[in-house]
Amino acid sequence: MTTTDTEDRRKRPTDEEVDIYNEDGNVRSDFLARLGAAIADRDTLFLRQNVARLHESEIGDLLESIQPDQRLALVRLLGDDFDMTALTEVDETIRREIVDQLPNEQIAAAIGELDSDDAVYILEDLDKEDREEILAQLPFTERVRLRRALDYPESSAGRRMQTEFVAVPPFWTVGQTIDYMRDEEDLPYSFSQIFVIDPTFKLLGAVDLDQILRTKRQNKIEAIMRETNHPIPAEMDQEEAAQLFEQYDLLSAAVVDENERLVGVLTIDDVVDVIHEEADEDIKRLGGVGDEELSDNVISTVRSRFLWLLINLGTAMLSASVIGLFDGSIEKMIALAVLMPIVASMGGNAGTQTMTVTVRALATRDLDIYNAGRIIRREAGVGILNGMLFALLLGLIAGTWFHNYQLGAVIGAAMIINLIAAALAGILLPLLLDKMGADPAIASSVFVTTVTDCTGFFAFLGLATWWFGI
């Protein structure tokens, strides 16, 4: 998948005549109106002059901005001038919507022009029958490359890698290598490394292009090659591969199979996409919305959110049952009903803060068994200190409000208890879920909220019942 450029680039026109963005970086409404009219009038001249020449990320933005019935019409009107790479820049729902309506012959012709990583990104969304029919129309070498990449697990480095790369034997000279790169037509469009392999394609090392340019032609490649920086197993999860790029400041990395043979290269543009996707996925899972996309229809969105709302209903009933244990006390002191949501709400927010930091630290591998104890102690200390500060503040407010400073002391004590519980739940529950092999981003929020609600209600109502004897 290609990476969209920066916001600054998005504000610049692709050429002197076409600028689809306003000063805020959004697609201009007047351009969308002109585009809609051109699609309705089947004005292919306007589309070729103002759309076909745009960067694939800009075309992707247009596809996401126009109406659903206009998307397929735009693709069909552009025909061979449509850059299929733009489909890697839109969300999965829109991509499927377009690809499912295109003939396999057109997809096969377009796939043949794409880099292998972009081709795999589109092919993996297709049904198996359509995928095989498309692959059968491709040249043998390209078909083998794509099938090999598609055989790797989803979200693995093998799925993300580009199978086009430059590899030479160690006994070649620098001059031979330069002549090869000048004469060979079937090379990647851009690259920064040359890999060194033995006759079995086992990876031996790599040479950066700047090193090639600084070395005399007669020197052999083996004399200037270095060990490959952190070759990535093709089966490695893409998020782990992205962490290697971040840790070692890599621009590209070799991808090897189980026999350490070179099978592809992972580049920084793909890794930026991975980082964006993984962060987006974690945020959505923390909110309980799964793989929802902005382009999803109402039914799909309801289906995505219903399960977690149902689980939340169950946990809310559990919290309600705790309140039910003290219904008699609430009837005798109405102030309890007024104040108890404050304790639960403060605990929920505090727990969410700790949980968010913990889940992100687990995702980036910054939190592990070696520093978990220190972090747990820190969060417990934060819970105690925040509890004491807000206990004092809320105690004064409640005491003044209801002219009962004993009630203020009770709610202050409950606040301390709940904020400590929130801090511990916010870190211990994600750690436990991660240890059990579950994704803490998915389930943590439900359990942390349940703990803080139940603890808050029980602590406040229980202390009030005991203290006032009601």
Out of 12-16, 130-134, 195-199, pick the least confident: 12-16
pLDDT at residue 462, rounded to an integer = 93
**DSSP one-letter code for 102:** S
In the chain the first and final C-alpha atoms are separated, in Å, by 65
Tokens of 138: 């491709």
Q: How confident is the model at residue 9 (pLDDT cuts 50, 70, 90)?
A: very low
Q: Is there a single domain that holds both residue 313 and residue 441?
A: yes
Domain boundary among 129, 152, 175: 152
Is the pLDDT score of 149 beyond 60?
A: yes
Residue 8 has pLDDT above 50, yes or no: no
Distances from the Cα of 323 to the Cα of 119, 460, 468, angstroms: 56, 10, 17
Structure tokens at 219: 């020197």
Same domain? For 121 and 213 the reply is no
Distance CA 239, CA 124 (A): 18
Stated pTM of the model: 0.69
Both 104 and 61 in one domain: the answer is yes
Please tell me which residue, 7 or 315, carries the higher pLDDT value: 315
Same-domain status, 143 and 219:
no
The residue from 267, 290, 318 where one domain ends is 267
Q: Is residue 272 in some structural domain?
A: no
Q: Are residues 326 and 449 in the same domain?
A: yes
For residue 289, being part of any structural domain is answered with no
Classify residue 338: in a domain, yes or no.
Answer: yes
Ranking 235-244, 364-373, 395-404 by mean pLDDT, the lowest is 364-373
Domain boundary among the residues 92, 126, 152 is at 152
What's residue 185's pLDDT? Answer: 83
Residues 88 and 199 in one domain: no
Question: How many structural domains are present in the chain?
Answer: 3
Parent domain of 215: 167-267
**Residue 292 falls inside a structural domain:** no
Neighbours of 429 (CB within 10 A): 24
pLDDT at res. 134? 92
Q: How high is the pLDDT of residue 291?
A: 67
- The confidence score (pLDDT) of residue 295 equals 66
Residue 247 lies in a domain: yes
Average pLDDT, the chain: 87
Q: pLDDT tens digits, residue range 346-360?
A: 998 999 899 888 888
Domain-embedded: residue 375: yes
> Which DSSP letter does residue 404 get?
-
Secondary structure class of 205 (helix, strand, coil): strand
| pLDDT for the residue numbered 189 | 81
Q: Percent of the chain scored above 90 by pLDDT?
A: 50
Q: What is the CATH number of the domain that holds 60?
A: 1.25.60.10
In tens, the pLDDT along 262-276 reads 999 999 988 988 888
The set of residues, in sequence order, having a beta carbon less than 8 Å from that of 451 and lying 6+ positions away, is 351, 421, 422, 425, 429
The CATH number of residue 184's host domain is 3.10.580.10
- 252-256 vs 262-267, strand pairing mode: antiparallel
pLDDT, tens digit (0-9, with 9 covering 90-100), for 204-231: 999 999 999 999 999 999 999 988 768 9
Q: Per residue in 378-414, pLDDT tens?
A: 999 999 999 999 999 999 999 999 999 999 999 999 9
397/389 Cα distance (integer angstroms): 13
Q: 254 pairs with which residues across the strands?
A: 265
- What is the chain's alpha carbon radius of gyration, rounded to the nearest angstrom? 29
State the burial class of residue 291 (Cβ atoms within 10 Å of its Cβ: 0-12, 13-18, 19+).
middle
If asked whether residues 324 and 432 sit together in one domain, one would say yes
pLDDT for the residue 282: 73
Looking at the structure, do residues 306 and 227 belong to the same domain, yes or no?
no
| Residues 313 and 378 placed together within one structural domain of the fold | yes
Number of other CB atoms surrounding residue 229 within 10 Å: 16
Q: Indicate if the pLDDT at residue 287 is higher than 90.
A: no
Q: Are residues 132 and 174 in the same domain?
A: no
For residue 289, the model assigns a pLDDT of 67
Same domain, 448 and 308: yes
Comparing CA positions, the residue from 223, 212, 224 lying closest to residue 175 is 212
Helices within 86-208 (DSSP H only): 92-99, 104-111, 116-123, 128-136, 140-151, 157-160, 174-183
Does residue 41 lie within any of the structural domains?
yes
Q: Is residue 279 part of a domain?
A: no
Please tell me the distance from the alpha carbon of residue 302 to that of residue 166, in angstroms, as a whole number: 48
CB neighbours of residue 467 within 10 Å: 13
Q: Does residue 208 or residue 8 have the better pLDDT?
A: 208
Strand stretches in 214-288, DSSP E = 232-233, 252-256, 262-267
User: Does one domain contain both 352 and 441?
Assistant: yes
